[in-house]
């Protein structure tokens, strides 16, 4: 990104969270943003000299390592030269202790679960408004003495150094995890740190974000350049496209690729809501034949994903080239709807996790196209994106849509993807979602869809033997799609959906409901 363009972290007071790999690290960032203080998470290995902005305060997260181990990660010591308040949480506090006297070792017993916090120094600004609250512990190591220059400000039954503070500087350490909701006053503590101690402004609101982001996009793109973007009609790409349209109007070209495996009437609906309703300059490309031809005879899930991903790229590049000469100026930028959780995943210092399935959609465009990337949602969590969408005038219904994968119905038709099979799956899915909406359940479910299985089963309809396929219904509840549980429908509801599908969809003789959680299953069947 061009150095003349201000980053979000230079516009909003920012708390820097240095991640030592705790499963809770991203929650610290979330909690701070909940009371409107902007926070960003970076790996604990971040060099402070390369930061490019000055944080209002720094939080050192928890982590699975032991500070005394040979290969344990350590913070860049320049963090102490920033001269801003520092809070160490669990591993983060052990790190502060390690750097100030090395009094950290394995405890006699591990402490996992609730404990009672005894505030020993009630005047400490870290504990303002807090008393003997319940806190959440998750550690095996502990401090065996006071770090040099520190004093005890809180204890718990098992941790005589449950809270410590530097005697002169605003440097604090706590053994428990304030970021998890099990710590009843954890949010108060984080607020005390960020707002009172770091003096961070509570101005992180989506209203303010819109203004700064529109300005940032205009600075980045300049007065004449054109931008293209792949837009699916899903939440993220729609919100990103609307923001681009607010910033540069017709110079943003949205492209929806009808890959032949979209939901019933989807391309027409998106054209209407985004093009006519939201004023987004949208072109719908009908590439159904191209996609379905390439999918002929293919049954392997990963092959399907790769074919669809590559075809997306082809179609998209062709369209970009077609749009290009029109305005005179060359297309310089590509919009992507990357969200903060994707960024967090890619910066994790723990390295990439194993690929369970390929989720790339049109991400592979970049290198060949020589386009510069614009990612206006890069700093946002999904709920922030939804809030932003509503402020931008996108309907509640669209903003709360269930996610829909780029490879679409092709990964919900198990086995070979043909026009006929897609039509069956699509129709069954439409009935299912319609009934979910009628029952007022749509917003209680995180994602629901129908899958068409490549097995036939015997049935009887109107005294006739039938021998047709099976539809599997899936509905899940989740907060982050990393883990999920199946939704407990009333039996009457399932009965109604099953009956409608078998009666109204030719080719289906039986309906089942998928009662597998993730893990061990995944959300999609392929």
Ligand X SMILES: Nc1ncnc2c1ncn2[C@@H]1O[C@H](COP(=O)(O)OP(=O)(O)OP(=O)(O)O)[C@@H](O)[C@H]1O
Ligand Y SMILES: O=c1[nH]c(=O)c2[nH+]cn([C@@H]3O[C@H](COP(=O)(O)O)[C@@H](O)[C@H]3O)c2[nH]1
Ligand Z SMILES: NC(=O)CC[C@H](N)C(=O)O
- Annotated binding-site residues for ATP read 232-238
Please report how close the Cβ of residue 200 comes to ligand Z at its closest, in angstroms.
24
The answer to whether residues 231 and 386 touch, using CB atoms and an 8 Å cutoff, is: no
Asked if 403 is part of the footprint of ligand X (rule: CB under 6 A), the reply reads: yes
91 interacts with, out of ligand Y, ligand Z, Mg ion, none, CB within 5 to 8 A per kind: ligand Z
Exposed, middle or buried, 144 (CB in 10 Å: 0-12/13-18/19+)?
middle
Q: Residue 149 or 403: which CB sits closer to ligand X?
A: 403
What six digits make up the tokens of 46?
Answer: 């971040």
The answer to whether residues 445 and 436 touch, using CB atoms and an 8 Å cutoff, is: yes
Report DSSP state, residue 460: E
Asked if 136 is part of the footprint of ligand Z (rule: CB under 6 A), the reply reads: no
Asked if 47 is part of the footprint of ligand Y (rule: CB under 6 A), the reply reads: no
Asked if 66 is part of the footprint of ligand Z (rule: CB under 6 A), the reply reads: yes
The answer to whether residues 94 and 61 touch, using CB atoms and an 8 Å cutoff, is: no
361 interacts with, out of Mg ion, ligand Y, ligand Z, none, CB within 5 to 8 A per kind: ligand Y
Asked if 362 is part of the footprint of ligand X (rule: CB under 6 A), the reply reads: yes
Please report how close the Cβ of residue 366 comes to ligand Y at its closest, in angstroms.
17
Asked if 304 is part of the footprint of ligand Y (rule: CB under 6 A), the reply reads: no
Q: 3-state secondary structure string, 248-277?
A: HHHHEEEEEEECCCCCCCHHHHHHHHHHHH
Q: Give kind and range of the element (H or E) at residue 178.
A: none
Strands 150-155, 163-166: pairing kind: antiparallel
Residues 40 and 48: their CA atoms lie apart, in Å, by 14
22 interacts with, out of ligand X, ligand Z, Mg ion, none, CB within 5 to 8 A per kind: ligand Z
- Specify whether the backbone of 245 is left (phi greater than 0), alpha (psi in -120 to 50) or beta: alpha
63 interacts with, out of ligand Z, ligand X, Mg ion, none, CB within 5 to 8 A per kind: ligand Z
Please report how close the Cβ of residue 141 comes to ligand Z at its closest, in angstroms.
3
Please report how close the Cβ of residue 366 comes to ligand X at its closest, in angstroms.
13
Kindly state the number of chain residues that form the binding site for Mg ion, as judged by CB under 5 A: 3
Kindly state the number of chain residues that form the binding site for ligand Y, as judged by CB under 6 A: 14
Handedness of CA 353, 356, 361, 364 (dihedral sign): positive
- The contact pattern for ligand Y, residues 433-472, with x = CB under 6 A and - = no contact, is --------------x-------------------------
Residues 411 and 300: their CA atoms lie apart, in Å, by 10
Asked if 26 is part of the footprint of ligand Z (rule: CB under 6 A), the reply reads: no
Asked if 22 is part of the footprint of Mg ion (rule: CB under 5 A), the reply reads: no
Cα distances (Å, whole numbers) of residue 379 to 55, 130, 410: 16, 31, 31
Using alpha carbons only, what angle is made at residue 193 by residues 192 and 194, rounded to the nearest 5 degrees? 100
447 interacts with, out of ligand X, ligand Y, Mg ion, none, CB within 5 to 8 A per kind: ligand Y
**443: helix, strand or coil:** helix
Residues 382 and 399: their CA atoms lie apart, in Å, by 10
The answer to whether residues 159 and 125 touch, using CB atoms and an 8 Å cutoff, is: no
Report the site for ligand Z in 68-127 (rule: CB under 6 A): 90-91
Q: Residue 11 or 362: which CB sits closer to ligand X?
A: 362
Give the list of residues 6+ apart from residue 35 with CB closer than 8 angstroms, or none. 187, 190, 191, 194, 195, 202
In the set 232, 311, 336, 447, which binds Mg ion (CB under 5 A)? Answer: 232
Using alpha carbons only, what angle is made at residue 39 by residues 194 and 83, rounded to the nearest 5 degrees? 55
Q: Which residues pair with 451 in a beta bridge?
A: 472
What residues are designated binding site?
A: 232-238
Asked if 404 is part of the footprint of ligand X (rule: CB under 6 A), the reply reads: yes
10 interacts with, out of Mg ion, ligand X, ligand Y, none, CB within 5 to 8 A per kind: none
What six digits make up the tokens of 239?
Answer: 């919100």
Asked if 513 is part of the footprint of Mg ion (rule: CB under 5 A), the reply reads: no
Residues 2 and 140: their CA atoms lie apart, in Å, by 45
Asked if 234 is part of the footprint of Mg ion (rule: CB under 5 A), the reply reads: yes
Asked if 230 is part of the footprint of ligand X (rule: CB under 6 A), the reply reads: yes
Q: Backbone phi, then psi, for 102, in 5-degree steps? A: 60, 25
**115: helix, strand or coil:** strand
218 interacts with, out of Mg ion, ligand Y, ligand X, none, CB within 5 to 8 A per kind: none
Asked if 22 is part of the footprint of ligand Z (rule: CB under 6 A), the reply reads: yes
Asked if 173 is part of the footprint of ligand Z (rule: CB under 6 A), the reply reads: no
In the set 57, 62, 309, 407, which binds ligand Z (CB under 6 A)? Answer: 62
In the set 12, 65, 312, 487, which binds ligand Z (CB under 6 A)? Answer: 65
Q: Residue 178 or 337: which CB sits closer to ligand X?
A: 337
Q: Which stretch binds ligand Z (CB under 6 A): 139-147, 268-276, 410-418, 479-487?
A: 139-147
Assess whether 402 carries a catalytic annotation: no
Assess whether 90 carries a catalytic annotation: yes
90 interacts with, out of ligand X, Mg ion, ligand Z, none, CB within 5 to 8 A per kind: ligand Z
Taking the chain, what is the end-to-end CA distance rounded to the nearest angstrom?
36
Q: Residue of minimal CB distance from ligand Z? A: 62
The answer to whether residues 136 and 183 touch, using CB atoms and an 8 Å cutoff, is: yes
Assess whether 491 carries a catalytic annotation: no
Using alpha carbons only, what angle is made at residue 42 by residues 5 and 103, rounded to the nearest 5 degrees? 145
Using alpha carbons only, what angle is made at residue 99 by residues 96 and 105, rounded to the nearest 5 degrees? 80
Q: Residue 93 or 385: which CB sits closer to ligand Z?
A: 93
Footprint of ligand Y (CB under 6 A): 305, 357, 359, 361, 403, 405-407, 447, 481, 518, 522-524
Q: List residues binding Mg ion (CB under 5 A).
A: 232, 234, 404
Interface residues toward ligand Z, by CB under 6 A: 22, 62-66, 90-91, 138-141
Residues in contact with ligand X by the rule CB under 6 A:
230-232, 234-237, 256-257, 259, 337, 361-362, 401, 403-406
Residues known to be catalytic = 90, 177, 179
């Amino acid at each position: 990104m061009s150095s003349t363009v201000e980053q979000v972290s230079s516009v909003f007071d920012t708390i820097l969270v240095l991640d030592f790999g705790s499963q809770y690290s991203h929650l610290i960032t979330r909690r701070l943003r909940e009371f409107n203080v902007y926070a960003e998470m970076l790996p604990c290995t971040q060099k402070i000299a390369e930061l490019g902005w000055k944080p209002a305060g720094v939080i050192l997260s928890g982590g699975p390592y032991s500070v005394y181990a040979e290969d344990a990660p350590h913070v860049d010591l320049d963090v102490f030269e920033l001269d801003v308040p520092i809070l160490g949480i669990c591993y983060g506090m052990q790190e502060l202790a390690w750097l100030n006297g090395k009094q950290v070792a394995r405890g006699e017993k591990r402490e996992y679960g609730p404990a009672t916090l005894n505030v020993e120094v009630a005047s400490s600004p870290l504990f303002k408004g807090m008393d003997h609250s319940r806190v959440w512990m998750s550690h095996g190591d502990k401090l065996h003495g006071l770090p040099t220059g520190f004093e005890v400000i809180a204890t718990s039954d098992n941790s005589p150094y449950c809270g410590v503070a530097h005697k002169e500087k605003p440097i604090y350490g706590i053994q428990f995890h304030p970021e998890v909701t099990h710590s009843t006053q954890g949010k108060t503590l984080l607020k005390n740190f960020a707002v009172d101690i770091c003096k961070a402004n509570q101005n992180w609101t989506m209203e303010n974000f819109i203004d700064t982001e529109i300005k940032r996009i205009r600075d980045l793109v300049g007065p004449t350049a054109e931008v293209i973007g792949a837009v699916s009609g899903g939440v993220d790409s729609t919100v990103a496209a609307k923001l681009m349209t607010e910033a540069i109007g017709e110079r943003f070209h949205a492209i929806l690729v009808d890959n032949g495996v979209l939901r019933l009437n989807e391309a027409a609906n998106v054209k209407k809501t985004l093009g006519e309703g939201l004023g987004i300059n949208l072109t719908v490309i009908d590439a159904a034949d191209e996609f379905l031809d390439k999918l002929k005879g293919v049954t392997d899930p990963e092959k399907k994903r790769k074919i669809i991903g590559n075809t997306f790229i082809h179609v998209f590049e062709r369209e970009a080239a077609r749009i290009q000469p029109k305005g005179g100026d060359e297309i310089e930028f590509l919009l992507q709807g990357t969200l903060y959780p994707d960024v967090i995943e890619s910066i994790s210092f723990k390295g990439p996790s194993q690929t369970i399935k390929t989720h790339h959609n049109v991400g592979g465009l970049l290198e060949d196209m020589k386009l510069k990337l614009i990612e206006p949602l890069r700093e946002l969590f999904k709920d922030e994106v939804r809030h932003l969408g509503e402020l931008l005038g996108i309907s509640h219904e669209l903003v709360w849509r269930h996610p829909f994968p780029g490879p679409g119905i092709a990964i919900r038709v198990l086995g070979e993807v043909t026009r006929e099979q897609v039509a069956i799956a699509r129709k069954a899915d439409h009935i299912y979602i319609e009934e979910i909406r009628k029952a007022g359940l749509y917003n209680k479910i995180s994602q629901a869809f129908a899958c068409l299985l490549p097995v036939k089963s015997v049935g009887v309809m109107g005294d006739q033997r039938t021998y047709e396929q099976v539809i599997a219904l899936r509905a899940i509840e989740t907060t982050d799609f990393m883990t999920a549980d199946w939704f407990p429908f009333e039996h009457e509801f399932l009965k109604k959906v099953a009956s409608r599908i078998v009666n109204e969809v030719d080719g289906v003789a039986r309906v089942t409901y998928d009662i597998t959680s993730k893990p061990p299953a995944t959300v999609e069947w392929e």
